Structure 1
Protein backbone atom coordinates (compact mmCIF):
# COMPACT_ATOMS: atom_id res chain seq x y z
CA UNK A 1 0.00 0.00 0.00
CA UNK A 2 2.36 2.66 1.21
CA UNK A 3 5.28 3.00 -1.21
CA UNK A 4 8.49 4.98 -1.29
CA UNK A 5 7.11 7.08 -4.15
CA UNK A 6 4.27 8.28 -1.93
CA UNK A 7 6.75 9.45 0.70
CA UNK A 8 8.84 11.20 -1.97
CA UNK A 9 5.75 13.06 -3.21
CA UNK A 10 4.83 14.22 0.28
CA UNK A 11 8.37 15.43 0.95
CA UNK A 12 8.58 17.40 -2.30
CA UNK A 13 5.14 18.94 -1.86
CA UNK A 14 6.19 20.05 1.60
CA UNK A 15 9.45 21.49 0.21
CA UNK A 16 7.89 23.18 -2.82
CA UNK A 17 4.50 24.20 -1.45
CA UNK A 18 2.53 23.44 -4.63
CA UNK A 19 1.67 20.39 -6.72
CA UNK A 20 3.01 22.06 -9.84
CA UNK A 21 6.49 22.68 -8.46
CA UNK A 22 6.62 19.27 -6.76
CA UNK A 23 5.62 17.51 -9.96
CA UNK A 24 8.37 19.32 -11.85
CA UNK A 25 10.97 18.33 -9.23
CA UNK A 26 9.84 14.69 -9.40
CA UNK A 27 9.63 14.65 -13.23
CA UNK A 28 5.93 13.79 -13.07
CA UNK A 29 2.83 15.43 -14.45
CA UNK A 30 0.63 17.17 -11.92
CA UNK A 31 -2.23 14.83 -12.74
CA UNK A 32 -0.03 11.75 -12.19
CA UNK A 33 1.09 13.10 -8.83
CA UNK A 34 -2.48 13.89 -7.77
CA UNK A 35 -3.69 10.47 -8.92
CA UNK A 36 -0.99 8.67 -6.94
CA UNK A 37 -1.92 10.43 -3.70
CA UNK A 38 -5.66 10.05 -4.31
CA UNK A 39 -5.19 6.32 -4.78
CA UNK A 40 -3.13 6.19 -1.57
CA UNK A 41 -5.85 8.07 0.33
CA UNK A 42 -8.44 5.58 -0.90
CA UNK A 43 -6.29 2.68 0.29
CA UNK A 44 -5.62 4.30 3.66
CA UNK A 45 -9.18 5.48 4.15
CA UNK A 46 -8.08 8.99 5.13
CA UNK A 47 -6.86 12.18 3.47
CA UNK A 48 -3.25 13.32 3.67
CA UNK A 49 -3.75 16.92 2.56
CA UNK A 50 -6.43 19.48 1.73
CA UNK A 51 -6.21 22.26 -0.82
CA UNK A 52 -6.35 25.87 0.28
CA UNK A 53 -6.15 27.86 -2.93
CA UNK A 54 -2.92 26.88 -4.68
CA UNK A 55 -1.39 25.74 -1.41
CA UNK A 56 -1.75 22.37 0.29
CA UNK A 57 -2.23 21.84 4.01
CA UNK A 58 -1.26 18.51 5.46
CA UNK A 59 -3.75 16.69 7.63
CA UNK A 60 -2.75 14.89 10.82
CA UNK A 61 -2.18 11.73 8.76
CA UNK A 62 -0.17 13.73 6.24
CA UNK A 63 2.09 15.15 8.94
CA UNK A 64 2.77 11.66 10.23
CA UNK A 65 3.69 10.42 6.77
CA UNK A 66 5.86 13.49 6.16
CA UNK A 67 7.80 12.71 9.34
CA UNK A 68 8.18 9.13 8.14
CA UNK A 69 9.43 10.40 4.78
CA UNK A 70 12.01 12.67 6.40
CA UNK A 71 13.32 9.74 8.46
CA UNK A 72 13.29 6.98 5.87
CA UNK A 73 14.09 8.63 2.54
CA UNK A 74 17.58 9.81 3.56
CA UNK A 75 18.35 6.24 4.59
CA UNK A 76 17.20 4.89 1.21
CA UNK A 77 19.24 7.54 -0.59
CA UNK A 78 22.31 6.87 1.53
CA UNK A 79 21.99 3.14 0.92
CA UNK A 80 21.77 3.67 -2.84
CA UNK A 81 24.92 5.81 -2.83
CA UNK A 82 26.72 3.15 -0.80
CA UNK A 83 25.61 0.40 -3.15
CA UNK A 84 26.91 2.41 -6.12
CA UNK A 85 30.23 2.88 -4.34
CA UNK A 86 30.44 -0.80 -3.45
CA UNK A 87 29.68 -1.73 -7.05
CA UNK A 88 32.54 0.54 -8.13
CA UNK A 89 34.89 -1.18 -5.69
CA UNK A 90 34.89 1.67 -3.18
CA UNK A 91 34.33 1.45 0.58
CA UNK A 92 32.25 4.59 0.57
CA UNK A 93 32.43 8.06 2.08
CA UNK A 94 32.77 8.96 5.73
CA UNK A 95 30.53 11.99 6.23
CA UNK A 96 31.64 14.02 9.22
CA UNK A 97 29.46 16.64 10.90
CA UNK A 98 31.05 19.38 13.03
CA UNK A 99 29.32 20.87 16.09
CA UNK A 100 32.54 22.53 17.20
CA UNK A 101 33.57 25.75 15.42
CA UNK A 102 37.28 25.68 16.34
CA UNK A 103 37.63 21.90 15.81
CA UNK A 104 38.43 22.18 12.12
CA UNK A 105 42.17 22.53 12.76
CA UNK A 106 42.04 19.51 15.08
CA UNK A 107 40.09 17.51 12.50
CA UNK A 108 42.79 18.06 9.89
CA UNK A 109 45.22 16.24 12.16
CA UNK A 110 42.86 13.24 12.10
CA UNK A 111 41.68 13.32 8.49
CA UNK A 112 45.16 13.47 6.96
CA UNK A 113 46.42 10.18 8.49
CA UNK A 114 42.95 8.62 8.06
CA UNK A 115 43.00 9.19 4.29
CA UNK A 116 46.47 7.70 4.14
CA UNK A 117 45.40 4.64 6.13
CA UNK A 118 42.11 4.11 4.26
CA UNK A 119 42.73 4.88 0.57
CA UNK A 120 39.36 3.44 -0.49
CA UNK A 121 37.31 5.69 1.83
CA UNK A 122 36.60 9.32 0.97
CA UNK A 123 35.83 12.02 3.54
CA UNK A 124 33.17 14.73 3.40
CA UNK A 125 33.11 17.34 6.17
CA UNK A 126 30.00 19.39 6.88
CA UNK A 127 31.36 22.25 8.93
CA UNK A 128 29.71 25.52 7.99
CA UNK A 129 26.03 24.70 8.12
CA UNK A 130 23.93 24.96 11.29
CA UNK A 131 22.45 21.58 11.99
CA UNK A 132 21.22 19.45 14.83
CA UNK A 133 23.98 16.91 15.22
CA UNK A 134 21.84 14.19 16.75
CA UNK A 135 19.10 14.64 14.17
CA UNK A 136 21.70 14.49 11.40
CA UNK A 137 23.07 11.22 12.79
CA UNK A 138 19.65 9.63 13.25
CA UNK A 139 18.61 10.90 9.82
CA UNK A 140 21.69 9.43 8.08
CA UNK A 141 22.77 12.87 6.86
CA UNK A 142 26.17 12.27 8.49
CA UNK A 143 28.04 9.19 9.72
CA UNK A 144 30.21 10.77 12.41
CA UNK A 145 29.52 13.71 14.71
CA UNK A 146 32.38 15.73 16.22
CA UNK A 147 31.16 17.52 19.34
CA UNK A 148 32.42 18.73 22.73
CA UNK A 149 28.89 18.41 24.17
CA UNK A 150 27.50 14.91 23.52
CA UNK A 151 23.85 14.09 24.11
CA UNK A 152 23.76 10.48 25.19
CA UNK A 153 20.77 8.73 23.64
CA UNK A 154 19.90 5.17 22.68
CA UNK A 155 21.19 4.31 19.24
CA UNK A 156 24.20 6.66 19.33
CA UNK A 157 27.63 5.71 20.71
CA UNK A 158 29.97 8.50 21.82
CA UNK A 159 33.70 8.04 22.33
CA UNK A 160 35.88 10.72 23.98
CA UNK A 161 39.01 11.14 21.85
CA UNK A 162 40.69 14.41 22.80
CA UNK A 163 41.15 16.23 26.12
CA UNK A 164 41.57 19.98 26.29
CA UNK A 165 41.00 23.01 28.49
CA UNK A 166 38.82 25.96 27.54
CA UNK A 167 40.75 29.16 28.29
CA UNK A 168 40.22 32.89 28.02
CA UNK A 169 42.35 34.68 25.44
CA UNK A 170 43.48 38.29 25.87
CA UNK A 171 45.93 40.48 24.00
CA UNK A 172 49.48 40.54 25.32
CA UNK A 173 49.03 44.15 26.39
CA UNK A 174 45.79 43.51 28.29
CA UNK A 175 45.86 44.26 32.08
CA UNK A 176 44.86 40.64 32.78
CA UNK A 177 47.61 39.13 30.62
CA UNK A 178 50.00 38.68 33.56
CA UNK A 179 47.44 37.18 35.95
CA UNK A 180 47.51 33.56 34.79
CA UNK A 181 43.82 33.09 35.57
CA UNK A 182 40.65 35.15 35.55
CA UNK A 183 37.56 35.31 37.77
CA UNK A 184 34.01 35.79 36.42
CA UNK A 185 33.61 39.28 37.89
CA UNK A 186 36.76 40.43 36.09
CA UNK A 187 34.91 40.17 32.77
CA UNK A 188 32.22 42.66 33.83
CA UNK A 189 34.08 45.46 32.05
CA UNK A 190 35.11 43.39 29.01
CA UNK A 191 33.75 42.85 25.51
CA UNK A 192 33.45 39.09 25.03
CA UNK A 193 33.74 37.86 21.44
CA UNK A 194 32.37 34.45 20.47
CA UNK A 195 31.12 32.46 17.52
CA UNK A 196 27.48 33.10 16.55
CA UNK A 197 25.95 30.21 18.51
CA UNK A 198 23.42 30.10 21.33
CA UNK A 199 24.74 31.32 24.68
CA UNK A 200 23.76 28.06 26.37
CA UNK A 201 26.23 26.27 24.10
CA UNK A 202 29.13 28.53 25.06
CA UNK A 203 31.17 27.12 27.95
CA UNK A 204 32.42 30.54 29.02
CA UNK A 205 28.81 31.46 29.76
CA UNK A 206 27.24 28.24 31.05
CA UNK A 207 30.24 26.99 33.06
CA UNK A 208 31.89 30.24 34.12
CA UNK A 209 29.88 33.48 33.97
CA UNK A 210 26.27 32.45 34.52
CA UNK A 211 26.89 30.19 37.57
CA UNK A 212 28.59 33.17 39.22
CA UNK A 213 25.76 35.54 38.27
CA UNK A 214 28.11 37.58 36.08
CA UNK A 215 28.01 38.85 32.52
CA UNK A 216 30.41 40.73 30.24
CA UNK A 217 29.96 44.41 29.49
CA UNK A 218 29.24 43.51 25.87
CA UNK A 219 28.92 40.33 23.83
CA UNK A 220 29.86 40.36 20.14
CA UNK A 221 29.83 37.49 17.65
CA UNK A 222 32.14 36.83 14.70
CA UNK A 223 32.24 33.79 12.44
CA UNK A 224 35.94 33.20 11.84
CA UNK A 225 38.66 32.21 14.28
CA UNK A 226 41.30 34.31 12.53
CA UNK A 227 39.29 37.52 12.85
CA UNK A 228 38.41 36.86 16.49
CA UNK A 229 42.08 36.32 17.31
CA UNK A 230 43.06 39.51 15.50
CA UNK A 231 40.39 41.47 17.37
CA UNK A 232 41.63 40.11 20.69
CA UNK A 233 45.25 40.91 19.82
CA UNK A 234 44.21 44.46 18.94
CA UNK A 235 42.58 44.93 22.35
CA UNK A 236 39.02 45.00 20.98
CA UNK A 237 37.80 42.26 23.30
CA UNK A 238 38.51 38.86 24.87
CA UNK A 239 37.45 35.38 23.77
CA UNK A 240 37.33 31.77 24.97
CA UNK A 241 39.03 29.02 22.96
CA UNK A 242 40.49 25.53 23.44
CA UNK A 243 44.05 25.76 24.80
CA UNK A 244 45.48 23.72 21.93
CA UNK A 245 44.07 26.18 19.39
CA UNK A 246 45.50 29.13 21.31
CA UNK A 247 48.90 27.42 21.33
CA UNK A 248 48.80 27.32 17.54
CA UNK A 249 47.79 30.97 17.19
CA UNK A 250 50.30 32.35 19.71
CA UNK A 251 52.97 31.87 17.05
CA UNK A 252 50.99 34.15 14.72
CA UNK A 253 49.29 36.80 16.89
CA UNK A 254 50.24 38.38 20.26
CA UNK A 255 47.68 36.76 22.56
CA UNK A 256 47.87 35.19 26.03
CA UNK A 257 45.72 32.35 27.46
CA UNK A 258 44.26 32.59 30.98
CA UNK A 259 42.70 29.81 33.07
CA UNK A 260 38.96 30.30 33.62
CA UNK A 261 38.60 30.19 37.39
CA UNK A 262 40.67 28.29 39.90
CA UNK A 263 40.12 24.84 38.37
CA UNK A 264 39.69 25.79 34.73
CA UNK A 265 37.12 24.32 32.34
CA UNK A 266 38.15 20.82 31.31
CA UNK A 267 36.57 19.51 28.10
CA UNK A 268 36.71 16.57 25.71
CA UNK A 269 36.04 16.21 22.02
CA UNK A 270 33.73 13.26 21.39
CA UNK A 271 33.12 11.23 18.25
CA UNK A 272 29.51 10.11 17.93
CA UNK A 273 28.34 7.37 15.55
CA UNK A 274 25.20 5.32 15.12
CA UNK A 275 25.45 2.23 17.29
CA UNK A 276 24.75 -0.02 14.28
CA UNK A 277 27.77 1.47 12.49
CA UNK A 278 30.12 1.46 15.45
CA UNK A 279 31.74 -1.85 14.45
CA UNK A 280 32.54 -0.79 10.88
CA UNK A 281 36.29 -1.13 10.46
CA UNK A 282 36.91 2.26 8.81
CA UNK A 283 34.82 4.08 11.44
CA UNK A 284 36.80 2.35 14.17
CA UNK A 285 39.92 3.32 12.24
CA UNK A 286 38.83 6.96 12.31
CA UNK A 287 38.16 6.83 16.07
CA UNK A 288 41.56 5.22 16.75
CA UNK A 289 43.37 7.88 14.74
CA UNK A 290 41.32 10.58 16.51
CA UNK A 291 42.54 9.18 19.83
CA UNK A 292 46.11 9.61 18.62
CA UNK A 293 45.47 13.30 17.92
CA UNK A 294 46.33 14.03 21.54
CA UNK A 295 49.92 13.49 20.41
CA UNK A 296 49.57 15.45 17.19
CA UNK A 297 49.36 18.98 18.53
CA UNK A 298 51.16 21.55 16.43
Structure 2
Protein backbone atom coordinates (compact mmCIF):
# COMPACT_ATOMS: atom_id res chain seq x y z
CA UNK A 1 0.00 0.00 0.00
CA UNK A 2 1.30 3.43 -0.95
CA UNK A 3 1.28 6.01 1.86
CA UNK A 4 1.27 9.80 1.93
CA UNK A 5 4.64 9.94 3.73
CA UNK A 6 6.18 7.75 1.02
CA UNK A 7 5.01 10.18 -1.65
CA UNK A 8 6.35 13.17 0.30
CA UNK A 9 9.72 11.49 0.72
CA UNK A 10 9.84 10.58 -2.96
CA UNK A 11 9.05 14.16 -4.07
CA UNK A 12 11.63 15.58 -1.66
CA UNK A 13 14.30 13.40 -3.27
CA UNK A 14 13.05 14.41 -6.73
CA UNK A 15 13.38 18.09 -5.80
CA UNK A 16 16.85 17.74 -4.25
CA UNK A 17 18.20 14.81 -6.25
CA UNK A 18 20.12 14.01 -3.12
CA UNK A 19 18.99 11.74 -0.28
CA UNK A 20 20.87 13.63 2.45
CA UNK A 21 19.48 17.04 1.50
CA UNK A 22 15.98 15.59 1.05
CA UNK A 23 16.16 14.10 4.57
CA UNK A 24 17.25 17.48 5.98
CA UNK A 25 14.36 19.17 4.17
CA UNK A 26 11.92 16.74 5.80
CA UNK A 27 13.58 17.06 9.22
CA UNK A 28 14.46 13.38 9.37
CA UNK A 29 17.57 11.28 9.12
CA UNK A 30 18.58 9.57 5.90
CA UNK A 31 17.97 5.88 6.85
CA UNK A 32 14.18 6.20 7.37
CA UNK A 33 13.94 8.28 4.20
CA UNK A 34 15.70 5.54 2.27
CA UNK A 35 13.40 2.90 3.76
CA UNK A 36 10.30 4.88 2.67
CA UNK A 37 11.63 5.11 -0.90
CA UNK A 38 12.44 1.41 -0.96
CA UNK A 39 8.97 0.52 0.36
CA UNK A 40 7.40 2.71 -2.32
CA UNK A 41 9.43 1.07 -5.08
CA UNK A 42 8.45 -2.34 -3.70
CA UNK A 43 4.76 -1.39 -3.78
CA UNK A 44 5.08 -0.04 -7.34
CA UNK A 45 7.21 -2.96 -8.51
CA UNK A 46 9.56 -0.71 -10.50
CA UNK A 47 12.58 1.50 -9.79
CA UNK A 48 12.02 5.22 -9.34
CA UNK A 49 15.68 6.23 -9.43
CA UNK A 50 18.70 5.15 -11.40
CA UNK A 51 21.42 4.78 -8.78
CA UNK A 52 24.09 3.44 -11.11
CA UNK A 53 26.19 6.60 -11.42
CA UNK A 54 27.74 9.08 -9.00
CA UNK A 55 24.50 11.11 -8.99
CA UNK A 56 20.99 9.71 -8.82
CA UNK A 57 18.43 10.46 -11.49
CA UNK A 58 14.85 9.56 -12.20
CA UNK A 59 13.99 6.60 -14.37
CA UNK A 60 11.46 7.18 -17.13
CA UNK A 61 8.81 5.47 -14.99
CA UNK A 62 9.91 7.56 -11.97
CA UNK A 63 9.53 10.82 -13.92
CA UNK A 64 6.01 9.84 -14.98
CA UNK A 65 5.11 8.81 -11.45
CA UNK A 66 6.48 12.10 -10.05
CA UNK A 67 3.96 14.09 -12.07
CA UNK A 68 1.06 12.09 -10.68
CA UNK A 69 2.51 12.09 -7.16
CA UNK A 70 2.61 15.91 -7.14
CA UNK A 71 -1.07 16.04 -8.00
CA UNK A 72 -1.94 13.52 -5.28
CA UNK A 73 0.10 15.31 -2.59
CA UNK A 74 -1.22 18.70 -3.67
CA UNK A 75 -4.83 17.51 -3.53
CA UNK A 76 -4.24 15.85 -0.17
CA UNK A 77 -2.74 19.02 1.28
CA UNK A 78 -5.66 21.06 -0.05
CA UNK A 79 -8.12 18.58 1.42
CA UNK A 80 -6.45 18.83 4.83
CA UNK A 81 -6.51 22.63 4.72
CA UNK A 82 -10.18 22.64 3.69
CA UNK A 83 -11.09 20.15 6.42
CA UNK A 84 -9.23 22.16 9.05
CA UNK A 85 -11.02 25.35 8.01
CA UNK A 86 -14.37 23.57 8.18
CA UNK A 87 -13.50 22.03 11.56
CA UNK A 88 -12.57 25.47 12.87
CA UNK A 89 -15.79 26.98 11.53
CA UNK A 90 -14.07 29.24 8.99
CA UNK A 91 -15.58 27.45 6.00
CA UNK A 92 -18.72 25.49 5.32
CA UNK A 93 -22.38 26.34 5.12
CA UNK A 94 -24.92 27.92 7.44
CA UNK A 95 -28.68 27.83 7.01
CA UNK A 96 -30.67 30.52 8.80
CA UNK A 97 -34.41 30.60 9.25
CA UNK A 98 -36.01 34.01 9.78
CA UNK A 99 -39.45 35.50 10.24
CA UNK A 100 -40.69 38.00 7.69
CA UNK A 101 -40.77 40.87 10.19
CA UNK A 102 -37.15 40.29 11.22
CA UNK A 103 -36.04 41.03 7.64
CA UNK A 104 -37.12 44.66 7.84
CA UNK A 105 -34.34 45.88 10.09
CA UNK A 106 -32.50 43.25 12.09
CA UNK A 107 -31.74 40.59 9.46
CA UNK A 108 -29.68 42.88 7.17
CA UNK A 109 -27.33 43.76 10.05
CA UNK A 110 -27.24 40.13 11.11
CA UNK A 111 -26.21 38.93 7.63
CA UNK A 112 -23.76 41.81 7.11
CA UNK A 113 -21.91 40.78 10.26
CA UNK A 114 -21.65 37.15 9.15
CA UNK A 115 -20.44 38.18 5.69
CA UNK A 116 -17.72 40.34 7.24
CA UNK A 117 -16.58 37.82 9.85
CA UNK A 118 -17.08 34.61 7.83
CA UNK A 119 -16.53 35.47 4.14
CA UNK A 120 -15.84 31.85 3.13
CA UNK A 121 -19.06 30.51 4.61
CA UNK A 122 -22.02 29.87 2.31
CA UNK A 123 -25.20 31.38 3.78
CA UNK A 124 -28.68 30.09 2.99
CA UNK A 125 -31.63 32.17 4.20
CA UNK A 126 -35.10 30.68 4.53
CA UNK A 127 -38.18 32.72 5.44
CA UNK A 128 -40.24 30.68 7.89
CA UNK A 129 -42.78 31.18 10.64
CA UNK A 130 -41.61 30.66 14.21
CA UNK A 131 -43.38 27.27 14.38
CA UNK A 132 -41.76 26.17 11.11
CA UNK A 133 -38.35 27.16 12.45
CA UNK A 134 -38.75 24.96 15.51
CA UNK A 135 -39.65 22.01 13.29
CA UNK A 136 -36.68 22.77 11.03
CA UNK A 137 -34.30 22.98 13.99
CA UNK A 138 -35.55 19.65 15.31
CA UNK A 139 -35.06 18.04 11.89
CA UNK A 140 -31.66 19.79 11.46
CA UNK A 141 -32.87 21.55 8.31
CA UNK A 142 -31.62 24.91 9.60
CA UNK A 143 -28.71 25.76 11.91
CA UNK A 144 -29.98 29.01 13.43
CA UNK A 145 -33.41 30.58 13.69
CA UNK A 146 -34.51 34.19 14.11
CA UNK A 147 -37.81 33.53 15.76
CA UNK A 148 -40.45 34.85 18.14
CA UNK A 149 -40.69 33.65 21.74
CA UNK A 150 -41.37 31.52 23.57
CA UNK A 151 -38.99 28.71 22.57
CA UNK A 152 -40.17 25.58 24.36
CA UNK A 153 -38.60 22.92 22.15
CA UNK A 154 -36.48 20.45 24.07
CA UNK A 155 -32.81 20.64 23.11
CA UNK A 156 -33.16 24.14 21.63
CA UNK A 157 -31.60 27.16 23.28
CA UNK A 158 -32.57 30.76 22.67
CA UNK A 159 -31.56 34.29 23.58
CA UNK A 160 -33.40 37.56 23.04
CA UNK A 161 -31.46 39.65 20.52
CA UNK A 162 -33.85 42.44 19.57
CA UNK A 163 -36.66 44.35 21.27
CA UNK A 164 -38.82 47.02 19.73
CA UNK A 165 -42.07 48.80 20.63
CA UNK A 166 -45.30 48.64 18.71
CA UNK A 167 -46.35 51.69 16.70
CA UNK A 168 -49.62 52.71 15.12
CA UNK A 169 -49.91 52.68 11.32
CA UNK A 170 -52.65 54.91 9.88
CA UNK A 171 -53.56 56.42 6.53
CA UNK A 172 -52.48 60.02 6.03
CA UNK A 173 -56.08 61.23 5.95
CA UNK A 174 -57.03 59.37 9.13
CA UNK A 175 -58.03 61.48 12.14
CA UNK A 176 -55.22 60.06 14.28
CA UNK A 177 -52.52 60.93 11.73
CA UNK A 178 -52.36 64.54 12.96
CA UNK A 179 -51.31 63.61 16.47
CA UNK A 180 -47.62 63.35 17.42
CA UNK A 181 -48.42 60.25 19.49
CA UNK A 182 -51.50 58.12 20.09
CA UNK A 183 -52.89 56.46 23.19
CA UNK A 184 -54.20 52.92 22.99
CA UNK A 185 -57.55 54.24 24.20
CA UNK A 186 -57.78 56.28 20.98
CA UNK A 187 -58.26 53.05 19.04
CA UNK A 188 -61.67 52.39 20.56
CA UNK A 189 -64.27 51.99 17.84
CA UNK A 190 -61.66 51.78 15.05
CA UNK A 191 -61.42 49.05 12.42
CA UNK A 192 -58.31 47.08 13.28
CA UNK A 193 -56.18 45.23 10.74
CA UNK A 194 -54.02 42.77 12.62
CA UNK A 195 -52.28 39.41 12.61
CA UNK A 196 -54.26 36.13 12.67
CA UNK A 197 -54.36 34.00 15.84
CA UNK A 198 -52.65 30.98 14.26
CA UNK A 199 -50.24 32.09 11.53
CA UNK A 200 -49.36 35.29 13.40
CA UNK A 201 -49.87 34.00 16.92
CA UNK A 202 -47.07 35.99 18.54
CA UNK A 203 -48.14 39.45 17.36
CA UNK A 204 -51.80 38.54 17.66
CA UNK A 205 -51.25 37.74 21.32
CA UNK A 206 -49.26 40.93 21.95
CA UNK A 207 -51.85 43.21 20.34
CA UNK A 208 -55.01 41.61 21.69
CA UNK A 209 -53.40 41.41 25.12
CA UNK A 210 -52.56 45.13 25.01
CA UNK A 211 -56.10 46.08 23.96
CA UNK A 212 -57.62 43.91 26.68
CA UNK A 213 -55.27 45.31 29.31
CA UNK A 214 -56.33 48.84 28.34
CA UNK A 215 -60.01 47.76 28.13
CA UNK A 216 -60.22 48.97 24.52
CA UNK A 217 -62.77 47.53 22.12
CA UNK A 218 -62.39 48.01 18.38
CA UNK A 219 -65.32 48.11 15.94
CA UNK A 220 -64.12 45.20 13.82
CA UNK A 221 -61.03 43.14 13.20
CA UNK A 222 -59.56 41.95 9.93
CA UNK A 223 -56.79 39.35 10.02
CA UNK A 224 -53.86 39.53 7.57
CA UNK A 225 -50.74 37.40 7.85
CA UNK A 226 -47.91 39.60 6.50
CA UNK A 227 -46.96 43.05 7.74
CA UNK A 228 -46.56 44.54 4.27
CA UNK A 229 -50.09 43.36 3.39
CA UNK A 230 -51.41 44.92 6.58
CA UNK A 231 -49.80 48.23 5.64
CA UNK A 232 -51.23 48.06 2.15
CA UNK A 233 -54.73 47.82 3.60
CA UNK A 234 -53.96 50.63 6.05
CA UNK A 235 -52.86 52.75 3.08
CA UNK A 236 -56.23 52.09 1.48
CA UNK A 237 -57.78 53.53 4.68
CA UNK A 238 -59.52 50.25 5.51
CA UNK A 239 -58.41 50.41 9.12
CA UNK A 240 -55.52 51.05 11.50
CA UNK A 241 -52.85 48.64 12.63
CA UNK A 242 -50.39 48.06 15.44
CA UNK A 243 -47.09 46.85 13.98
CA UNK A 244 -43.49 46.51 15.18
CA UNK A 245 -41.50 49.72 14.82
CA UNK A 246 -39.13 48.14 12.28
CA UNK A 247 -42.09 48.08 9.86
CA UNK A 248 -41.46 51.81 9.39
CA UNK A 249 -38.81 50.77 6.87
CA UNK A 250 -41.60 49.55 4.56
CA UNK A 251 -42.63 52.58 2.56
CA UNK A 252 -46.23 53.09 1.46
CA UNK A 253 -47.05 56.58 0.18
CA UNK A 254 -50.28 56.86 2.12
CA UNK A 255 -49.15 55.28 5.41
CA UNK A 256 -47.66 57.12 8.36
CA UNK A 257 -46.59 55.82 11.76
CA UNK A 258 -47.26 57.26 15.18
CA UNK A 259 -45.67 56.16 18.47
CA UNK A 260 -47.88 54.92 21.26
CA UNK A 261 -48.07 56.88 24.50
CA UNK A 262 -47.88 53.48 26.23
CA UNK A 263 -44.84 52.38 24.19
CA UNK A 264 -43.30 50.99 27.37
CA UNK A 265 -46.27 48.69 27.93
CA UNK A 266 -45.33 46.01 25.42
CA UNK A 267 -42.35 45.16 23.24
CA UNK A 268 -41.97 42.74 20.38
CA UNK A 269 -39.01 40.43 20.91
CA UNK A 270 -36.87 38.53 18.45
CA UNK A 271 -34.85 35.55 19.66
CA UNK A 272 -31.92 33.67 18.26
CA UNK A 273 -32.55 29.91 18.50
CA UNK A 274 -30.21 26.97 17.93
CA UNK A 275 -29.85 23.31 18.82
CA UNK A 276 -27.68 22.32 21.78
CA UNK A 277 -26.11 19.56 19.68
CA UNK A 278 -25.64 21.60 16.52
CA UNK A 279 -22.77 19.43 15.20
CA UNK A 280 -21.88 22.20 12.72
CA UNK A 281 -18.61 24.02 13.55
CA UNK A 282 -19.72 26.94 11.37
CA UNK A 283 -22.81 27.36 13.54
CA UNK A 284 -20.69 27.44 16.69
CA UNK A 285 -18.39 30.08 15.20
CA UNK A 286 -21.34 32.16 13.99
CA UNK A 287 -22.94 32.04 17.43
CA UNK A 288 -19.71 33.29 19.00
CA UNK A 289 -19.54 36.25 16.61
CA UNK A 290 -23.23 37.01 17.04
CA UNK A 291 -22.92 36.94 20.82
CA UNK A 292 -20.22 39.59 20.57
CA UNK A 293 -22.43 41.61 18.21
CA UNK A 294 -25.42 41.49 20.56
CA UNK A 295 -23.29 42.48 23.53
CA UNK A 296 -22.08 45.54 21.61
CA UNK A 297 -25.59 46.31 20.38
CA UNK A 298 -26.88 46.64 23.93
CA UNK A 299 -24.73 49.74 24.21
CA UNK A 300 -26.35 51.34 21.13
CA UNK A 301 -29.81 52.67 21.97
CA UNK A 302 -30.86 52.80 18.32
CA UNK A 303 -30.75 49.01 17.96
CA UNK A 304 -32.75 48.04 21.06
CA UNK A 305 -30.88 44.74 20.97
CA UNK A 306 -30.24 42.79 24.09
CA UNK A 307 -29.68 39.43 25.70
CA UNK A 308 -32.40 39.58 28.30
Normalised TM-score (structure 1): 0.58
Q: Is the 8 A contact 1:162 1:293 kept in 2?
A: no
Q: Tell me the C-alpha RMSD between the 2 structures.
A: 3.6
Q: SS of 1:111's equivalent?
A: helix
Using the TM superposition, give the Cα deviation of residue 249 of structure 1 relative to its aligned residue in structure 2, in angstroms.
3.8
Map of 1:157-176 to 2, 5 A cutoff?
157-176=157-176
Using the TM superposition, give the Cα deviation of residue 271 of structure 1 relative to its aligned residue in structure 2, in angstroms.
0.3
- For residues 95 and 203 of structure 1, the distance between their equivalents in structure 2, rounded to whole angstroms, comes to 29
Q: SS of 1:232's equivalent?
A: helix
- For residues 255 and 271 of structure 1, the distance between their equivalents in structure 2, rounded to whole angstroms, comes to 30
Tell me, which stretches of 5 or more residues in structure 2 are unaligned? 1-81, 304-308
Q: How many residues are aligned here?
A: 212
Matched, 1:181 2:182: yes
Map of 1:7-156 to 2, 5 A cutoff?
91-98=91-98, 100-105=99-104, 106-128=106-128, 131-156=131-156
- For residues 150 and 130 of structure 1, the distance between their equivalents in structure 2, rounded to whole angstroms, comes to 9
Give deviations 1:260-292, integer Å, cap 9, x for gaps: 747431232210111233981223223434555
- For residues 199 and 130 of structure 1, the distance between their equivalents in structure 2, rounded to whole angstroms, comes to 9
- For residues 184 and 204 of structure 1, the distance between their equivalents in structure 2, rounded to whole angstroms, comes to 16
Partner residue of 1:241? 243
Q: Pick which of 210-219 and 227-236 moved more.
A: 210-219
Q: Is the 8 A contact 2:195 2:226 kept in 1?
A: no
- For residues 162 and 199 of structure 1, the distance between their equivalents in structure 2, rounded to whole angstroms, comes to 18
- For residues 162 and 276 of structure 2, the distance between their equivalents in structure 1, rounded to whole angstroms, comes to 20
Shift of the 180–250 alpha-carbon distance from structure 1 to 2, 3 Å rule, reads farther
Q: Is the 8 A contact 1:167 1:260 kept in 2?
A: no
Partner residue of 1:217? 219
Using the TM superposition, give the Cα deviation of residue 146 of structure 1 relative to its aligned residue in structure 2, in angstroms.
1.0
Tell me, which stretches of 5 or more residues in structure 1 are unaligned? 1-85
Shift of the 114–290 alpha-carbon distance from structure 1 to 2, 3 Å rule, reads farther
Give deviations 1:128-174, integer Å, cap 9, x for gaps: 56843323222212111212313245422212212211222222332
Partner residue of 1:265? 266
- For residues 275 and 184 of structure 1, the distance between their equivalents in structure 2, rounded to whole angstroms, comes to 44
Say which one has the larger Rg.
2
